[in-house]
């Protein structure tokens, strides 16, 4: 397969029309009970916890290459598959999988726009039970500086870089330091705040808002496609959706900070700002 089978942000109707494609792997990251009750036909289940490495106080780190190889092999992924991911919690979990695939260099993936809600609320077919995939031998080889990953030291080196922007997907209260979920509250110096749920269209089954609205919201915060943008939240769960959102809008230089605030806010050596935008 030379190019992507589906757009990066795929609508439910488009996915339904392509369910027969042989190189399509649909991954459901809802909770196990919801998946077993009803899921997109052919979808396999992936437990979200398998995608994160907890090294307290940092609770959302990227697993190492061997662990990722095992997880992606377990769901039957092959290097030429096109992955479509979704969940029933606003697509943060699904986006974390897709960001992980980006870090690993997997070329073709899509987010089901609106996830579980859009698919079933709009009458698309479902099935129950469990699909057990045939394990593959998917091997991950992580480069020293994956272009989709921002680690703490990378961010520290780029705090004064005018070509880099930091997009904080946490709530305004977390950003301002009023809701403290680490040793320190506040935000990374220079960061701007766009809570992840503000990108969702609640009138359209939690799809992402139309591109023109999202681009306007980002521009208000000084975020433009010519910048390199780092997304983060507390554990790079919520901000994974922000990552996919930016990619869907054509941003070419986007990184996710896996340590996020659980690492930054608990490190006494990192600088912190408080207060609103």
Pick the catalytic residue: 233, 244, 246, 254? Answer: 233
Do 156 and 244 fall into the same domain? yes
In the chain, % of residues over pLDDT 90: 96
C-alpha distances (whole Å) from 261 to each of 180, 211, 256 are 10, 28, 12
Q: Kindly state whether residue 132 falls inside one of the protein's structural domains.
A: no
Do 117 and 156 fall into the same domain? no
Alpha-carbon span 244 to 266, nearest angstrom: 26
Is 233 in the active site?
yes
CATH number of domain containing 160: 3.40.250.10
User: Does residue 255 have a cis bond before it (omega within 30 degrees)?
Assistant: no
Judge whether residue 12 has pLDDT over 70.
yes
Q: Kindly state whether residue 97 falls inside one of the protein's structural domains.
A: yes
Q: Kindly state whether residue 140 falls inside one of the protein's structural domains.
A: no
> Of 104, 121, 138, which residue is a domain's last?
121
The DSSP element (H or E) to which 104 belongs, if any, is helix 92-104
Alpha-carbon span 79 to 30, nearest angstrom: 24
pLDDT band at 1; cut points 50, 70, 90: very low
In the chain, % of residues over pLDDT 70: 99
Q: What is the mean pLDDT of residues 36-45?
A: 98
Alpha-carbon span 182 to 272, nearest angstrom: 12
pLDDT band at 276; cut points 50, 70, 90: confident
Q: Kindly state whether residue 271 falls inside one of the protein's structural domains.
A: no
Alpha-carbon span 171 to 160, nearest angstrom: 24
pLDDT at 2: 61
pLDDT band at 4; cut points 50, 70, 90: confident
Residue 127's contacts (CB-CB under 8 Å, 6 or more residues apart) are 38, 39, 40, 41, 42
CB 274 within 8 A of CB 187: yes
Q: What is the mean pLDDT of residues 18-36?
A: 97
> Of 72, 103, 121, which residue is a domain's last?
121
Q: Kindly state whether residue 92 falls inside one of the protein's structural domains.
A: yes
Q: Kindly state whether residue 230 falls inside one of the protein's structural domains.
A: yes
Model confidence pTM above 0.85: yes
List the alpha helices (DSSP H) in 109-253.
115-121, 152-157, 172-176, 211-220, 238-248
> Of 106, 121, 136, which residue is a domain's last?
121
| Half-sphere exposure for 43 (CA within 13 Å, toward CB) | 32
């Amino acid at each position: 397969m030379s190019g992507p089978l589906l757009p990066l942000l795929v609508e439910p109707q488009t996915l339904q029309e392509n369910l027969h494609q042989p190189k399509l792997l649909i991954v459901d990251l809802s909770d196990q009970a919801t998946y077993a009750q009803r899921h997109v036909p052919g979808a396999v289940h992936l437990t979200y916890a398998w995608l994160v490495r907890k090294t307290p106080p940092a609770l959302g780190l990227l697993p190492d290459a061997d662990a990722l190889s095992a997880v992606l092999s377990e769901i039957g992924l092959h290097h030429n598959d096109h992955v479509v991911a979704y969940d029933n919690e606003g697509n943060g979990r699904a986006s974390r999988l897709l960001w992980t695939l980006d870090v690993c260099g997997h070329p073709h993936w899509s987010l089901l726009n609106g996830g579980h809600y859009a698919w079933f609320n709009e009458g698309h077919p479902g099935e129950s039970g469990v699909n057990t995939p045939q394990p593959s031998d998917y091997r991950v080889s992580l480069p020293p500086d994956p272009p989709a990953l921002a680690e703490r030291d990378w961010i520290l080196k780029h705090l004064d870089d005018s070509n880099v922007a930091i997009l904080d997907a946490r709530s305004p209260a977390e950003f301002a330091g009023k809701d403290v979920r680490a040793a320190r509250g506040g935000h990374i110096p220079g960061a701007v705040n766009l809570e992840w749920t503000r990108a969702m269209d609640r009138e359209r089954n939690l799809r992402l808002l139309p591109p023109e609205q999202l681009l306007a919201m980002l521009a208000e915060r000084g975020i433009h496609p010519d910048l390199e943008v780092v997304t983060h939240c507390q554990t790079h769960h919520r901000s994974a959706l922000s990552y996919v959102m930016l990619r869907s809008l054509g941003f070419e230089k986007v990184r996710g900070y896996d340590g996020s605030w659980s690492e930054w806010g608990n490190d006494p050596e990192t600088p912190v700002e408080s207060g609103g935008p």
